[in-house]
Amino acid sequence: MPDHLHILLKMPAKITVSYIAQQLKGTSSRFMNELSGNQGIFEWSRGYGAFTVSKKDVTMISNYIKNQKEHHKSGTLNQDFEQV
């Protein structure tokens, strides 16, 4: 999606969500700005949303993420996933 993304990941309990967000945002911002040759062009919003999910829902969520472009086009968004 042009203005957001969904990531499904398994992380150890000792690592905080804020640390993961910081690492993902920092690394990708640095990469995108170096790629463009213009520091500061690409930047993330300040916020993020995070959800815990049960193992039984991983396949459903993974499929939702894979098909999010279609969900956005057709208006069949899952509000739990989309609104933070």
pLDDT tens string 41-60: 777 778 888 888 999 999 99
Please report, for residues 5, 41, 42, 44, 67, the alpha-carbon distance to residue 60 in angstroms, rounded to integers and kept in the order given.
17, 35, 31, 27, 11
* CA dist., res. 79 & res. 8, Å (int): 17
Mean of pLDDT over the chain = 80
27, exposed or middle or buried, with CB in 10 Å at 0-12, 13-18, 19+? exposed
Confidence band, pLDDT 50/70/90 cuts, at residue 19: very high
Within its chain, how far is the Cα of 13 from the centroid? Answer: 19
- Domains of the chain: which residue ranges? 9-50, 53-84
* CA dist., res. 43 & res. 26, Å (int): 9
Say what the pLDDT of residue 71 is.
64
Whether pTM exceeds 0.85: no
